[in-house]
A = this chain, B = another copy of it.
Amino acid sequence: MDLAAESKLYCDELKGKINSYGLEITELSTHLQGQLVAVHPAYDLRFDGFAPDTVKGNPKARTNWAIEQLKKAATASKHLGLTAHATFSGALLWHTVYPWPQRPQGLVDMGFSELAARWLPILNHFDSCGVDVCYEVHPGEDLHDGASYEMFLDKVKGHQRACLLYDPSHFVLQQLDYLQYIDLYHERIKAFHVKDAEFNPTGKSGVYGGYQDWINRAGRFRSLGDGQVDFAGIFTKLSQYGFDGWAVMEWECCIKSPEQGAREGAPFIEKNIIEVTKKAFDDFAGAAVDEGFLRKVLGI
């Protein structure tokens, strides 16, 4: 990251090399670093594993390190000619996600103010690099659905770089309407993870999952095509709204091997890609249409 942020030359070479294999770098990702921008103490111990030794056990230093990492990722993205960047928001409030015990008045507001304060300098730097920050909306993060994203967007005053990575699998697991979500937020969706999931609640377990392993949870991730995500609906809506980013396959499955998942996943995505039509069937194919003609049709 350091090198890529410092040297445009290095990035050009890297990109050239990768392109020479017929591959593309679609976007950089800083999920772990983004997560470390905001960590509630209850999660410190477990998240320290993602931090370098120098800042472990020192949350303040860890936060600063994470912020710098994000900025470098912005510069590196610019050097690589990328316009979107994938990350997590981090979380100060996640342990209060179910309102028992009740949240004291003002808590949520303060939490989002603090989160926005940490992210604003990052967003501004991304803006100067011409790159969108795409938050992967995800449980465990303060940005875990549309409602929480809207609160954040308010706090950063609708910052144009505070955008979204769309991954429907996380919405299946919380039973959010992931198609209507596109209707609501499509202007902000700049990155897209193609990941499948299923939710099969029983008399034993629902969304919360009883602390079970992935294979025994009602909601779990699946290989592409094996879950319940309506990808035809998603690709239709993204095409309709003119999304032109990458469809990036993400694989995480508790049943099928990664090899089979990869082998089947690439053609699965290809099959879903829509070449957008230029033909409309709305055009009237009749006589010359002038104002008089229209007035006659309307009878006015």
Chain A residues proximal to chain B, CB less than 8 Å: 40-43, 45-50, 56, 92-108, 110-111, 114, 138-140, 142, 144-148, 150-151, 171, 174-185, 199, 201-216, 218, 221-222, 226, 232, 236, 239-240, 252-261, 274-287, 289, 291, 293-300
Cα of A222 to Cα of B232 in the assembled complex, Å: 11
- Sample (22) of A-B pairs whose CB atoms are under 8 Å apart: A41-B42, A43-B95, A43-B101, A49-B101, A99-B282, A100-B139, A100-B140, A111-B298, A139-B208, A145-B206, A145-B209, A147-B204, A147-B210, A175-B207, A177-B203, A180-B202, A184-B203, A214-B281, A215-B280, A252-B281, A253-B277, A258-B279
Cα of A49 to Cα of B259 in the assembled complex, Å: 51
Query: Which residue of A180, A205, A274 has the most chain B CB atoms within 10 A of its CB atom?
Result: A205
Q: A203-B181, A205-B146, A299-B40 are in contact. Are A226 and B236 (CB under 8 A)?
A: yes
Contact between A97 and B146, CB atoms less than 8 A apart: no
Identify A104's interface contact among B50, B144, B180, B284, CB under 8 A. B284
Count copies of this chain in the complex: 6
Q: Which residue of B lies closest to A63 (CB)?
A: B300
Residues of B within 8 A of A178 (CB): 203
